[in-house]
Amino acid sequence: MLKIEKWEDLKKIFFQSFQYFLSLIIVKFITALNGIFLARLLLSEKFGIYTLVNQLTLFLSFFAGFGLPIIITKFIAQSKKDKELLNKTYNTAQILVILTSFITIVIYLSISKFLAEKIYKQPYLISYFYLSIFLLLFLTLNNFLVGVLQGLKEIKSISLINIGYNFLSLPLIIFLVKRYEIYGAIIALILGNLFGNILFLIKTKNFFSLKLNFDFPKAKEILSLAFPTFLSGLVMVPAFWLVNTKLAITKNFSEVAYFNVANTFFQFLLFIPIAIGMPLTPTIAEEANNHQKIKQLISKIINYSNLFLLLILIPIFIFLPKIILIILGKDYLPALKPFLFVVGAIIPANIGYIFGYYLTGTGRMWLATFFNSVWFSILILSVYFFTYKYGALGAGISFYIAYLFQVFSIIFRFKILLTKPLLIVKLLILNSILIILFYKIL
């Protein structure tokens, strides 16, 4: 009976993941097209500047969200059977995310001039920073509302809305970038995310009585998990900003572009663990006390998804020079070898993401912070060691090493949750061999 129930749960998770997976394919395809158009229209230097501004906005969105967009999934999943508790949870969290967003925006406004003039030594960047404040606000609210609907397992709604507002951003980017270059790129993202806000709010009205009532005990309970979640994200997101800043200062904006072209493809492949996480996080939150069930789910999901990702990587590596030449042009051929390491990191990253969903669902966010700290520390130390000589290639190698260290620390800590931990280790070794092999060939 347990075996039948286990397979039913696994099938349900994969079916819901497949729904979100299809939407993510579309969204990631649109995102990749956006990146390609931006890279071609802006060329390497301006694309590097745009990337810096965009990464800074993503970095600050974690401050604005303060861990609430991630942890709200757990609270909504556990309170959805009690209408009164559900409303109390949502409305309290809604006020909290508005407050944290406002505080972050005020701080960002006050330090923008310092960042432009003292850190980057490019005063013209301040106008881009000011404009990106609107993107910061709408991006944070979108992340929060996705977390709310994820807790309700409204995967189909999330999928359709994500497709809708990302699809809108594509023609906006093509039109606005041609006219206003970097300003146009930022405005296009602002308008797209604003449209997403509107659609998400319309959907949430079906589940909640939208009132600005604030419950202090509930706020304290939410913040007790949001704070370690925030710290967990804090040691991850600034990494890209620091890597880009290091490349810009020690090398040039073109090196920033080469690393981020590879990162764009890496983010595209993340649609697999992200799709799995949509139903997996609330499922683990609901079944937190059923250790055996969670063990079976995690082991099978990791094995199947890793195998699928490996099968995707092999043809990508084989045709990599042609892919870069056809899609991006010869201006981006120096991104070839960084690409191998950054995109190859998807295998260890996938394992880390799945265990991240487990830790979120069980509320063990301090442990998640520790594993993310391992990743961050290794990445930054490696970047400062490799990038001065190797530029984007050094950043790519550092990126891969950091994920490898993180995943081995996770396997060591949670081997009891894995039915065949050695199988995962063998796949990681095979992945490393493939990267080195193609590095020598290319």
Confidence of residue 212 (pLDDT cuts 50, 70, 90): low
Average pLDDT over residues 285-290: 68
Give the pLDDT score at 1: 41
282 vs 360: CA distance, rounded Å = 9
Please state the domain extents for the chain.
2-441
**Contact at 8 Å (CB) between 236 and 374?**
no
Burial grade of 90 (CB within 10 A; 0-12, 13-18, 19 or more): buried
Q: How far is CA 138 from CA 12, 65, 178, 199, in A?
A: 32, 11, 24, 12
- Whether 159 has a pLDDT exceeding 90, the answer reads no
- Whether 201 has a pLDDT exceeding 70, the answer reads yes
3-state secondary structure 417-433: HCCCHHHHHHHHHHHHH
Give residue-wise pLDDT tens across range 395-433.
889 989 999 999 999 888 887 777 777 888 888 889 889
Give residue-wise pLDDT tens across range 108-117.
989 888 888 8
Give the pLDDT score at 3: 47
45 vs 23: CA distance, rounded Å = 32
Average pLDDT over residues 7-32: 65
Higher per-residue confidence, 345 vs 117: 345
Token look-up 């984007």 returns 392
Token look-up 């310092």 returns 114
Average pLDDT over residues 73-82: 80
Helical ranges in 117-270 per DSSP H:
125-151, 155-180, 182-204, 216-234, 237-250, 253-269
121 vs 78: CA distance, rounded Å = 49
Q: What percent of the chain has pLDDT over 90?
A: 10
Higher per-residue confidence, 81 vs 195: 195
Give the pLDDT score at 308: 86
- Whether 105 has a pLDDT exceeding 90, the answer reads yes
Q: Tell me the pLDDT of the chain averaged across its residues.
A: 81
Confidence of residue 227 (pLDDT cuts 50, 70, 90): confident
**Contact at 8 Å (CB) between 282 and 150?**
yes
- Whether 4 has a pLDDT exceeding 50, the answer reads no
Give the pLDDT score at 103: 94
Confidence of residue 13 (pLDDT cuts 50, 70, 90): low
125 vs 129: CA distance, rounded Å = 6
Longest distance between any two alpha carbons in the chain, whole Å: 66
Average pLDDT over residues 329-353: 86
- Whether 100 has a pLDDT exceeding 90, the answer reads yes
Higher per-residue confidence, 256 vs 22: 256
- Whether 7 has a pLDDT exceeding 70, the answer reads no
344 vs 257: CA distance, rounded Å = 18
Q: Which of 20-24, 29-33, 91-95, 315-319 has the lowest mean pLDDT?
A: 20-24
Q: Which of 141-145, 243-247, 350-354 has the lowest mean pLDDT?
A: 243-247
Average pLDDT over residues 12-20: 61
Confidence of residue 137 (pLDDT cuts 50, 70, 90): very high
Read off the amino acid at residue 287.
Answer: E
Give the pLDDT score at 296: 72
Give residue-wise pLDDT tens across range 177-194.
888 888 888 888 899 889
Give the pLDDT score at 348: 92
- Whether 367 has a pLDDT exceeding 90, the answer reads no
Give the pLDDT score at 2: 42
- Whether 209 has a pLDDT exceeding 80, the answer reads no
- Whether 18 has a pLDDT exceeding 70, the answer reads no
